[in-house]
């Protein structure tokens, strides 16, 4: 073990910031983080062992207890559920003789649920040892089980098993744009960096990660900081269930994303770029490394880019390890520094005090992609499309009840109704725009538009038809937040779990009028007091479904007055058994008459 850990530590150049990389390698080798490895890493990186345990317990794909040599995860997002993930879990559990959430006795295989694998358009999906298993059909499950039983190494599995499709159903302004490597960097140099920033300003581009902060303003503030070095971070931790457009961009348009980062680096004066790639996109890593290498060979990365003395910039890929919160910029920076992904306190924000406490721009994959084309075409070209508050186009990842799930590029301001028609959605009950943290809209609101002024979204667009159960949707999302809360602050740590339990009480048919009042009040406490966006949005699934379909919530209530959350008589069963009594007096009524 020491030899292996030493090798991994050397590869990470003994940098504590690269702890996640070290732990991922150890996990891949030993299927968990063994106790002796903790000691070796603590000594090697000169960090307290508690930091290693804290990190290992924070990220979903790191474990302190051994997992199977074939580590299976099945996606549990609502769209995967709609596509039959439960049957997949049952079939796998039966075929492989392993409990869901367990490890088989011989250690060959473990089976777990995971929040979302970024393949909501091709579910039910899963992961095996970090690699994607889209569209799990019964035939595929049989093949998969056989390969595992025969202990065939992953690299000898049929590639078809892992093939992720990138269905671009509706390209528009950006996806249709021709591109030659280096064009955006050349255009920026030719025009001048200050002028390029002015074009970005004129484009009114706003961050595509969801918050919608003006990109030019962020870059300018970072450029104006006195401190150096400065960093460019590409946020590729696309964790919002129902989003997969960054996967597509990194898969099909990586050069255009890297080029946006390079233009940003030139403008803010950065030498070092990082891509924080979500763990579920491990399958893209080798491909992206090859693209980066090709760009170095083309003089688009490295020393004196395109012959310009003094412009040195390179990009490093860092993998996440399964934590939705790491999509939040400051949590991502913490994660990049080798710590649990807990959002930082602001002020100061990342532009002033980011990675390694230095000025840092963190932008979404799609933002850099758009910036590349703005650098080439100019700000007006972009600003001419969309709405005044939301210029340009938006990539939507469409999944759920529609004939053509996939990637759609729409000018901002497009009504939901148009989108539903084009993706082939019928008999719609509602749409979840922006993922669990976004907004649920009912079929009475389909004229609302996708734009920062109305329905802002990082790109998740989930369609539900009228056969779907509203509570199943709200519960899936609420449970998701309870699972993904980092637990830093009281309202989110405790509140998301209380929300989960309170909603379950109503959904299980044990709700009274009082419970609905309490649910709404709890939503407000969590929303109004949480430390970061996760807590602020954790109540959105309940609040927005309550707003869209209050009648369904009211119908679900059993009682006008108080109703207990548990079955009193059933909880006394053990006492009756011990007392060997079954007479009427040994039973209690649930509610006193």
For the CB of residue 95, give the shortest distance to another protein in the complex, in Å: 31
CB-nearer residue toward another protein: 319 or 538: 538
CB-nearer residue toward another protein: 450 or 503: 503
Pick from 329, 350, 349, 351: nearest CA to 341: 329
For the CB of residue 1, give the shortest distance to another protein in the complex, in Å: 16
Piece of the chain touching another protein by CB under 8 A; list 23-31, 92-100, 177-185, 481-489: 481-489
DSSP 251-293: HH-HHHHHHHHHHHHHHHT-SEEEEEE-GGGGGGHHHHHHHHH
In three-state secondary structure terms, 47 is coil
CB-nearer residue toward another protein: 530 or 545: 530
Task: Please name the residue ranges forming H helices in 102-192.
Answer: 138-149, 183-191
Residue in 153, 307, 310, 347 binding another protein, rule: CB under 8 A = 347
CB-nearer residue toward another protein: 373 or 505: 505
Number of residues that bind another protein (CB under 8 A): 39
Q: Which two tokens stand for residue 454?
A: 């109305």
Residues in CB range of 194: below 8 A, 6 or more apart: none
CB-nearer residue toward another protein: 470 or 486: 486
Residues in CB range of 242: below 8 A, 6 or more apart: 77, 78, 79, 116, 120, 397, 399, 400, 432, 435, 460, 461, 462
Piece of the chain touching another protein by CB under 8 A; list 19-27, 312-320, 398-406, 476-484: 476-484
Q: Which two tokens stand for residue 256?
A: 């255009």
CB-nearer residue toward another protein: 231 or 488: 488
Residues in CB range of 574: below 8 A, 6 or more apart: none
What is the pattern of x (binds another protein, CB under 8 A) and - over residues 392-431? ----------------------------------------
φ, ψ (nearest 5 deg) of residue 293: -65, -45
CB-nearer residue toward another protein: 461 or 480: 480
CA distance 20 to 321: 7
In three-state secondary structure terms, 113 is strand
What is the pattern of x (binds another protein, CB under 8 A) and - over residues 557-576? --------x-----------
Contact 457, 450 (CB under 8 A): yes
In three-state secondary structure terms, 98 is coil
Residue for token digits 């078809």? Answer: 160
Residue in 151, 345, 356, 421 binding another protein, rule: CB under 8 A = 345
Longest dimension (CA), the chain: 91
For the CB of residue 506, give the shortest distance to another protein in the complex, in Å: 13
CA distance 411 to 413: 6
For the CB of residue 47, give the shortest distance to another protein in the complex, in Å: 9
Contact 375, 263 (CB under 8 A): yes
What is the pattern of x (binds another protein, CB under 8 A) and - over residues 490-509? xx-xxxxxx--x--------
Please give the order of strands across the beta sheet that includes 109-114.
102-103, 109-114, 70-75, 126-128, 131-133
What is the pattern of x (binds another protein, CB under 8 A) and - over residues 435-474? ----------------------------------------
Regarding 352 and contact with another protein (CB under 8 A), the answer is no
Please, which of residues 38-67 interact with another protein by CB under 8 A? Answer: 39, 48-51, 53-54, 56-58
Element (H, E) at 169: strand 168-170
For the CB of residue 454, give the shortest distance to another protein in the complex, in Å: 23
Regarding 525 and contact with another protein (CB under 8 A), the answer is yes
Contact 221, 254 (CB under 8 A): no
For the CB of residue 564, give the shortest distance to another protein in the complex, in Å: 10
Residue 580 CA, distance from chain mean position: 52
Piece of the chain touching another protein by CB under 8 A; list 234-242, 271-279, 447-455, 488-496: 488-496
CB-nearer residue toward another protein: 351 or 489: 489
Burial class, 8, CB count within 10 angstroms (exposed 0-12 / middle 13-18 / buried 19+)? buried
CB-nearer residue toward another protein: 521 or 588: 521
CA distance 504 to 569: 20
For the CB of residue 79, give the shortest distance to another protein in the complex, in Å: 23
424 Ramachandran zone, left/alpha/beta (phi>0; psi -120 to 50): left
What is the pattern of x (binds another protein, CB under 8 A) and - over residues 303-342? --------------------x----------------x--
CB-nearer residue toward another protein: 307 or 347: 347
CB-nearer residue toward another protein: 127 or 323: 323
Piece of the chain touching another protein by CB under 8 A; list 406-414, 430-438, 463-471, 520-528: 520-528
For the CB of residue 340, give the shortest distance to another protein in the complex, in Å: 7
Residue in 112, 188, 485, 545 binding another protein, rule: CB under 8 A = 485
Q: Which two tokens stand for residue 216?
A: 């030019």
For the CB of residue 515, give the shortest distance to another protein in the complex, in Å: 11
Regarding 529 and contact with another protein (CB under 8 A), the answer is yes
159-180 per-residue burial string, b: 16 or more CB within 10 A, e: under 16: eebeebebebbbebbbbebebe
CB-nearer residue toward another protein: 50 or 558: 50
φ, ψ (nearest 5 deg) of residue 11: -60, -35
Residue in 208, 247, 468, 531 binding another protein, rule: CB under 8 A = 531
CB-nearer residue toward another protein: 351 or 451: 351
CB-nearer residue toward another protein: 56 or 261: 56
Q: Under the rule (CB under 8 A), what is the footprint of another protein?
A: 35, 39, 48-51, 53-54, 56-58, 323, 340, 345, 347, 482-491, 493-498, 501, 522, 525, 528-531, 565
């Amino acid at each position: 073990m020491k030899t292996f850990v030493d090798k991994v530590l050397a590869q990470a150049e003994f940098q504590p910031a690269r702890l996640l990389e070290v732990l991922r390698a150890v996990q891949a080798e030993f299927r968990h983080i063994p106790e002796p490895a903790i000691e070796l890493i603590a000594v090697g990186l000169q960090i307290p062992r508690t930091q290693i345990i804290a990190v290992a317990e924070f990220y979903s794909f790191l474990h302190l207890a051994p997992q199977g040599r074939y580590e299976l995860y099945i996606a549990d997002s609502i769209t995967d559920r709609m596509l039959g993930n439960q049957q997949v879990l049952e079939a796998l559990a039966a075929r492989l003789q392993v409990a869901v959430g367990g490890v088989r006795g011989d250690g060959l295989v473990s089976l777990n649920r995971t929040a979302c694998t970024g393949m909501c358009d091709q579910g039910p999906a899963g992961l095996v040892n970090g690699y994607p298993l889209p569209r799990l059909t019964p035939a595929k499950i049989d093949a998969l089980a056989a390969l595992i039983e025969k202990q065939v190494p992953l690299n000898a599995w049929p590639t078809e098993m892992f093939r992720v499709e990138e269905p671009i159903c509706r390209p528009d302004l950006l996806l249709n744009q021709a591109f030659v490597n280096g064009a955006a960097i050349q255009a920026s140099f030719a025009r001048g960096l200050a002028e390029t920033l002015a074009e970005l300003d004129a484009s009114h581009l706003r961050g595509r990660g969801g918050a919608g902060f003006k990109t030019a303003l962020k870059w300018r503030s970072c450029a104006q900081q006195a401190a150096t070095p400065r960093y460019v971070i590409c946020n590729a931790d696309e964790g919002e269930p129902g989003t997969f457009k960054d996967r597509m961009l990194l898969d099909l348009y990586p050069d255009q994303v890297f080029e946006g980062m390079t233009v940003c680096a030139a403008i803010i004066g950065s030498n070092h770029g990082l891509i924080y790639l979500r763990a579920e996109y491990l399958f893209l890593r080798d491909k992206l490394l090859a693209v980066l290498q090709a760009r170095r060979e083309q003089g688009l990365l490295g020393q004196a880019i395109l012959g310009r003395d003094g412009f040195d910039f390179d990009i490093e890929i860092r993998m996440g390890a399964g934590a939705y919160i790491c999509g939040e910029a400051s949590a991502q920076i913490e994660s990049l520094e080798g710590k649990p992904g807990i959002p930082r306190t602001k002020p100061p924000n990342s532009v002033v005090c980011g990675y390694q406490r230095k000025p840092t721009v963190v932008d979404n994959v799609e933002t850099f992609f758009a910036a590349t084309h703005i650098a080439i075409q100019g700000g007006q070209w972009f600003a001419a499309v969309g709405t005044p508050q939301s210029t340009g186009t938006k990539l939507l990842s469409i999944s759920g009840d529609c004939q053509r799930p996939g990637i759609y590029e729409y000018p901002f301001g497009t009504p939901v109704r148009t989108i539903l028609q084009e993706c082939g959605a019928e008999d719609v009950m509602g749409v979840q725009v922006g993922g669990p943290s976004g907004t649920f809209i009912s079929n009475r609101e389909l004229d609302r538009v996708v734009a920062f002024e109305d329905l802002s979204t990082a790109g998740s667009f989930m369609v539900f038809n009228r056969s779907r159960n509203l509570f199943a949707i709200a519960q899936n999302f609420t449970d998701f937040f309870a699972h993904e809360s980092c637990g830093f602050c009281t309202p989110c740590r405790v509140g998301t779990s209380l929300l989960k339990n309170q909603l379950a009480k109503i959904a299980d048919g044990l709700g009274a009028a009082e419970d609905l009042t309490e649910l709404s009040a709890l939503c407000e406490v969590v929303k109004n007091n949480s430390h970061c966006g996760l807590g602020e949005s954790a109540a959105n699934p309940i609040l927005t479904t309550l707003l869209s379909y209050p009648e369904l919530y009211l119908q679900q209530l059993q009682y006008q007055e108080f109703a207990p959350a548990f079955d009193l008589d059933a909880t006394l069963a053990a006492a009756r058994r011990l007392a060997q009594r079954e007479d009427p007096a040994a039973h209690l009524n649930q509610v006193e008459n």
